[in-house]
Structure formats: C-alpha cells, structure tokens
A and B are shown apart, each in its own frame.
Chain A
Amino acid sequence: MATTNGSNDLSSEMEVDAFRRLFPLRFHERHLLESIRPDGRPLGRARDTTISLGAVASANGSALAKIGCTTMLAAVKLEVMTPKAESPDEGCIAIDFHMPPICSPLVRPGRPAEAAPVITKQLTDTILSSGMIDLKELSLVSGKAAWMAYLDIYCLDADGALFDAALLSAVAAFSHLQIPVVSLNDDGRIVLISEENSGAMWEKEPVNKEKRKLKLESVPFSLTCLLHKNYILADPSDEEESIMETFLTVVLDSSFQLVSLNKPGGPGLAHTSAIQDCVGINKTESERTSEDIG
C-alpha cells in the first residue's frame, strides 16, 4: 500500500513539474486565481530580505544583501582624485554593476548580460538623484583632493528583482563605509595614516580627525512589481519575470516621496490605478523590511 502511494506521489509530482515546464503561464495563472503564488506568497508580499555588513574585508565598506534567493555583494573602495574645477568641494561616486557567469545560466563568459549596463545606469541615476549622499562629505582638501568612491556590485545569484537587491546592497555598503584617516604629505599626495607611520610621517595635521561614516539622508527603497492582466505581483522571482514581461519599478525615499518610477515598455500597459497600487505596496513592504532589518 505504502509503495503504491509513494509511486503515485512521485508521478503526480513529476506531472506538476512537467506542467510547470510546458505551460508556465497557465501554471502561474492557476495560482493567481487563488490569490497566491507558487512559492506560497500572497500577491503583494515581497520575499524575505537579509543584509550582512562588512562582507569584503579589503574594501572600505561592503554589504551582502539577499532578497529571497537573489544575492548581491556590494563593495566600496575609496581612492583620491582631483575634484573638477566647477565643483572643488565635491567628491564623486562611480557605480558599476556586474553579472558574473556564476549568477545565472543565461550569462556566458565573454558575453556580458544585457541587464548589467541597464541596471548600472538605473542605479547611478537613482543613487545620485535621491540625494542620499552629499558629495561635499567626500571632499578632502578643497580644490586639490577629494574622494572617488568606486562602488562595485556583483550579482552572485540572479532570481528576479535584481535592481531592488542591488539598490539595497548599495545603500547598505554606503552605510557601512568608513572613511579612513588621511593626511596631506609633502609631495601634495594624500596618504593613509596607520599606526606604523603616524609618529614619523605627519608634519601636517591629518585632513580628517578620525574614521567617520557618511551621513545618509533620504535612503531610497525600491520595489519591482509585475503587471499581468489585473494582477500585481510584488517582488517577482526569475521564473515569474521570464513569463510575465511587464514590470514597474517604484523607488521611494524614507519619507515615502517618489524618487524614481520606471516602466520599461513591455507587452502590458499600466493604468494609473496600478501605478498607485504599486506605490502603496512599496510603502507597506519598505516598512516591513525596515522592521526586519532594524
């Protein structure tokens, strides 16, 4: 008796798997009718989020962020540059998003993923326009030296909602960033002050007294939603994204003001009501996530 039940379970499991592979849209729509998704989430619920700071010891600031299975590693490295003439008191941030071949079966070595430069541009626009970082905080010596923050984000596992996870990891890395203590030496170069050379080296005062963190204003939070017929699915997985191709990304800041809205084409059209719903879902989910992260 037990064995016949066992083989029935196995064959019905294989049938479900086969149905999922052969008719993915019908498989998902069958779930949507019951207001649920294949992984058991309600439609408006984002996946569990975890953040871990300081993942890369050799970087000035780093963080590992996971939304469900999507994993992003962000690292900030500070280097010294000469500020531009028109903004002598401002540093600079350069953001780059990479999708190495480990993260997804669709990425081949030697052929960079199509999504990578798109997300790089989106991240740059969002982070710089949200006003999260005051570039004046990255200044060292007015007109002569300022920090250039190189932010590199690596996708380690691509399971949908890449932009959301990337933004989260970038924000976390900046929150972890510690600006090292440096001084200006005789050649006009900025040099790190470490315990070994602190006694002998500096004849001038250090440029900044102690290691400090950046002050982050209005931290942006992003949520991507899929629009399919009348349904709005928050935080899609990779499978859902590949089947239902219309999505909408809403980025709100900590006071729930709109930082950016992106609906990059797609076969479906969005009513204004859908856009308002997405903004509402972003609000709810960002509150829930900030409770989880604390």
Chain B
Amino acid sequence: MAGKTINTPTTYTPSPTSQNKKRSSIFTGSDWVRPDGRGLHQCRPAFLRTGAVNSASGSAYAEFGNTKVIVSVFGPRESKKAMMYSDMGRLNCNASESKDLSSMLLKALEGAIILESFPKTTVDVFALGVGVWWNIPYIAGDLPVVISCASLALADAGIMLYDMVASVSMSCLGKNLVIDPVSEEESYQDGGLMITCMPSRNEVTQMTVTGEWSTPKIHEAMQLCLDACSKLGKIMRSCLKEAVSAPQE
C-alpha cells in the first residue's frame, strides 16, 4: 500500500466497531435467503471479456458479482537461460504475490494445456484482482474466478488447450449447500469444496476439499459443482465466439 515503506505516521481506519458476529441460525435454516438474494444453487452472474490488455499476447477480464479479475498471458517466450532444454513447454503462474494461490492456479491449468506445442519456451500467466481491497489476500471464493478467467486468457492468446477450464466452489453451511459463496458465507462454512474441470471432456483437473463433509453431502456438492462448471464452460465458449465474430461485422 502507498507510503508504508517511507516514514509516514501510523494511521487507522475509522470503520465502526465490528459487531459481535456469531453465525446466526438463519445460515443453517432451510428457508434462508443469501445476502445478495441468490438461490442456494445459483451462481453469481458472470461477465467475461477477452482482449482486456493490449500489451499481452492474450488477456481476459472477468466480473462475478463484486469480484473483478484481469488475467494476462505472455508467450510462449524464451525460458530463463538457466533452465535446461525441455521438449515440453513450461507454464508459469503468478497471482498477486501469493505463492499458494499461484501454485494452485498452476496446478489447475497445467492439465489442460498441450505443453508439447511449445517446447523450450514458457507461457506466463499473471492475474490481478481489482475491486477487493489490494492488501486483502485472495480468499478461496475468488480463486475459481481467477482460474476460469485464466483459461479464457490462454484461449485468447492462442495457446493450444485440450479444453476450456471452468472452476466453481461450494460451501457447506449446516444442512445447506451453497454454491459460489461470497466471503461472508465462506467465513461461516463448515466445509468448502472447489472443483476445476474441463467440461467437454468431463475431466477434473483440480479438486480442493476443506473442513467437515459427510459422504452424501460431498457427492451432492460435487455433482452440483460439475453441472455449474459445464454451464460456465458454455458461457466461456460463447464469449470467445463473440470476440472472434465481432470484428468481422
């Protein structure tokens, strides 16, 4: 953040004192309405656009509710001189200085990229979150957005992929399964699930499970996530088709 490194005076933010937040029972009741009015199994409306950054080989901008993400793809370009020859290409991901998010992004995307199509070189994928205040690290609710946006950016850059990669997360709150949770919902969850898959091939590239899950619940959650992923995959494809057909008009 600005000014923290130079000798500036200490400051505090004048936010009102946080109310004592205990998870109210409404979160676990059966007739609960989510803070933004969505249904339990309703994802946030998605806005996707490719070609957001002119300087990049490919890029995409995604807006899911209040989460805004820009992903730029550079390459394939020369790998660092120190790296040995490799007949497979390399993927390098970076998401805002957060090492574990960067490595999760890498693992999610690696399986979908045809690395043999760019030997000796590296494709760089960089992501930036806009709108959430900068020094709040990404919470899991935003990683699926980054992954989906990154796959769109890779397609925009012309990197060969086996399939688009779509990602959706889910929270278990008592008896309720809540899809695409916002940070507030996630902070009260009993368990969290994030699935990244290639919808047309019906293959999962990454699955992350945290917290407490019963077996029937997790099966139900997985199925809901996979359905949501295939819908998201269709939205991503139509976004790409629009981007290609528009200039020819």
- Is B109 on the interface with A (CB-CB < 8 A)? no
Q: Which residues of A contact B72 (CB under 8 A)?
A: 101-103
Annotate B5-20 by CB proximity to A: 1 below 8 A, 0 otherwise: 0101111111111000
Say yes or no: A156 contacts B11, CB within 8 Å: no
Q: How many B residues touch the partner, as a band?
A: 35 or more
Q: Which residue of B lies closest to A196 (CB)?
A: B16
| A29 is an interface residue with CB less than 8 A from chain B | no
Q: B-side binding surface: helix, strand, loop or mixed? A: loop
For B2, B56, B72, B126, the residue with the greatest tally of chain A CB atoms inside 10 Å of its CB is: B2
Whether A84 is near chain B, meaning CB under 8 Å from some CB there, is yes
Is A81 an interface position by the 8 A CB rule? Answer: yes
CB-CB nearest in chain B for A104:
B55
Cα distance, A101 to B102, chains bound together (Å): 13
Decide if A180 touches B14 in the complex (CB within 8 Å).
yes
Whether A79 pairs with B12 at a CB distance below 8 angstroms is yes
Is B35 in the interface zone, CB < 8 Å from A? Answer: no
Kindly state whether residue A150 has any CB partner on chain B within 8 Å. yes
Q: How many angstroms between the C-alpha atoms of A197 and B133 in the bound complex?
A: 24
**Contact status A57-B8, CB under 8 Å:** no
Binding site for B on A (CB under 8 A): 55-59, 69, 71, 73, 77-82, 84, 92, 94-96, 100-105, 109, 148, 150-152, 154, 156-159, 180, 182, 189-194, 196-197, 201, 238
- Does B211 belong to the interface (CB within 8 Å)? no
Give every chain B residue within 8 A of A57 (Cβ-Cβ).
Answer: 66, 131
Given the contacts A56-B130, A156-B53, A192-B15, A82 and B9 also touching, CB distance less than 8 Å: yes
Query: In the complex where A92-B9, A109-B94, A157-B53 touch, is A191 in contact with B2 (Cβ < 8 A)?
Result: no
Which B residues lie within 8 Å of A105 (CB)? 55-57, 74, 77
Q: Is B208 an interface residue (CB 8 A)?
A: no
- In the assembled complex, the Cα of A92 lies from the Cα of B6 at a distance in Å of 13
Whether A189 contacts B131 by the Cβ 8 Å rule is no
Whether the pair B128, A94 counts as a contact (CB closer than 8 A) is: no
Closest approach, in angstroms, between the C-beta of B50 and any C-beta of chain A? 14
Do A94 and B2 touch across chains, with their CB atoms under 8 A apart? yes
Minimum distance in angstroms from B56 CB to a CB of chain A: 7
Contact A58 B94 (CB under 8 A): no
With A58-B133, A159-B55 as known contacts, state yes or no: A191 contacts B16, CB within 8 Å: yes
Interface membership of B189, Cβ < 8 A: no
Query: How far apart are A101's CB and chain B's nearest CB, in angstroms?
Result: 4
B6: chain A residues at CB < 8 Å are 94
Q: Flag if A81 contacts B128 (CB, 8 Å).
A: no
B9 touches A102 (CB 8 A): no
